[in-house]
Amino acid sequence: MICSRCGSTEFYKNGHKPDGRQRWQCKVCGREQVKKPSSDLNSGETYFYSGLSRTREGRCGSPLTSGLDGETQEREMACLETAKTDLLKYFPTDIQGKILEFAVKRENQGYKDTENIVYTLRRLVEVGANLYDPETVKTVLKVSRIQDSTKHLYAQHYEAFLSFLGGKWERPIYRIQQKIPFIPLESELDQIIASLPLKLAAFCQALKETGARKGEIAALRWTDIDFERRILFINNPEKGSLPRVKRASDKLIAMLNLFPRKSDAVFGNKETIKNIYYRRRKKLAFKLSNPRLLKIGLHTFRHWVGTTEYHKTKDIIHVQKVLGHKNIKSTMIYITIEETLFASAPDEFTSKVAHSVEEACQLVETGFEYVCDFDGVKIFRKRK
């Protein structure tokens, strides 16, 4: 079996369909496939949920990776053509060509949200919208029981497709209210990390130490990790963020050293990681009878880092640099969270006194920071 999205041959079993057929999920990109009970490898029937098929180079229509024999190349190319055809089956016949043309053009222009837009268009069609008539789209969005933030996103996606068709519309106005994210305890994050398999545990540990987004950690390559200096280079930032350099703990480096280096990617596809994480999290929440764990998503690690960094430093510019935000308005929310969470919790420090230069150096090397001089000695402190 060959994945029609990325060309991988590595799959794991993911339950059964109602008719008893085995469901398989690609380990690399997370695409689900259903193989008919037959010994013929080419008899597998594949279901695609959204977006265009991608080759191993990640771009629709790009050449396959070199090094494959002729028969494998032909089989993979046939899978790619099948993927493009199956993409259209969710749409009416009169608009199928436009959808495919729009998706190919957008990917060729370098946009990375093509699959999300195609999924949005599919959802609009499923609930009765006519993509050629903007008024029907407005009606569908108005009666839909989804959040205003999701409606706003759907309207943006449809506007991109409508612009491709040469049409215009007056986009509906949706008032998006920012919500305060859930900030867990550090012990709860450690509980989740300890319950995960090695690769996923290292993934979450990297999220906790760097405050990066899940897609930024999933995009790490082995060349982005300096094992000698214990440094992670985040060279594939998302949402217009800035690239960053982060220090890694000895624990994280030790976990990464246990990985087999079979490919350039360290972790693999973020969708597969997310699916496994949510299943493990649900089991752990039931086992520990702690429903708070169900509120800890992969992005929660980033919110926790932003809140704790501001609590330690009281420097919002520093937090902005840690998280890579281009606009400081995205960082200001952590001031409100920190003021609320730590309003009644006193800062707890361990204090030490240095009587000589050697003692001061030892304290600095173990994480203590200088506070002041008193009676001829230097006072240092470190947060508990």
Q: Which domain holds residue 314?
A: 186-341
Residues 202, 328 within the same domain: yes
315-352: b (≥16 Cβ within 10 Å) or e = ebeebbebbbbeeeebbebbeebbeeeeeeeeeeeeeb
Give the CATH number, domain containing residue 334. 1.10.443.10
Q: Pick the residue with more confidence: 255 or 369?
A: 255
In the predicted model, what is the mean pLDDT of the chain?
Answer: 81
pLDDT at 346: 56
Which residue(s) pair with 351 in the sheet?
381
Helix, strand, coil % in the chain, rounded to nearest 5: 50, 10, 40
Residue 360's pLDDT is 87
**149, pLDDT greater than 70:** yes
Of 47-56, 109-118, 143-152, 222-231, the one with minimum mean pLDDT is 47-56
Using an 8 Å Cβ cutoff, are 48 and 86 in contact? yes
Is the confidence at residue 135, as pLDDT, over 50?
yes
- Asked whether residue 78 falls in the same domain as residue 115, the answer is no
Same domain, 48 and 99: no
pLDDT of 220 reads 94
Specify whether 85 is located in the same domain as 95. no
Q: Which of 116, 149, 177 is the last residue of a domain?
A: 177
Q: In this predicted structure, what is the pLDDT of residue 54?
A: 35
- Edge-to-edge order in the sheet of strand 32-34: 11-16, 22-26, 32-34
Regarding whether 239 and 336 lie in a shared domain, the answer is: yes
| Pair (95, 69) in one structural domain | no
pTM, full prediction: 0.67
Q: What is the pLDDT of residues 11-27, one digit of tens each?
A: 888 777 767 778 888 77
15, 23 Cβ separation under 8 angstroms? yes
Model pLDDT, residue 344: 55
Biggest CA-to-CA distance, the chain: 86
Query: Residue 244: is its pLDDT beyond 70?
Result: yes
Q: Are residues 56 and 133 in the same domain?
A: no
At residue 37, the pLDDT reads: 42
226 and 336 housed in the same domain: yes
Report how many domains make up the chain: 4
50 has pLDDT over 60: no
Within this chain, do residues 35 and 98 fall inside the same structural domain, yes or no? no
- What's the pLDDT band for 35 if we cut at 50, 70, 90? low
Classify residue 126 by burial, with Cβ atoms within 10 Å: 0-12, 13-18, 19+: exposed
58 has a pLDDT exceeding 50: no
Whether residue 337 sits in one domain with residue 200: yes
- pLDDT score recorded for residue 278: 92
| Structural contact between residues 34 and 46, judged by C-beta atoms closer than 8 angstroms | yes
Per-residue pLDDT tens over the stretch 162-208: 999 999 999 999 988 778 899 999 999 999 999 999 999 999 999 99
Residues 76 and 217 in one domain: no
Domain's final residue, options 53, 70, 89: 89
Distance between CA atoms of residues 366 and 141, nearest Å? 57
**Residues 203 and 274 placed together within one structural domain of the fold:** yes
In the listed set 109, 144, 177, which residue is the last one of a domain according to the structure? 177
Q: What is the average pLDDT across 131-146?
A: 91
Cα separation of 183 and 305, whole Å?
Answer: 9
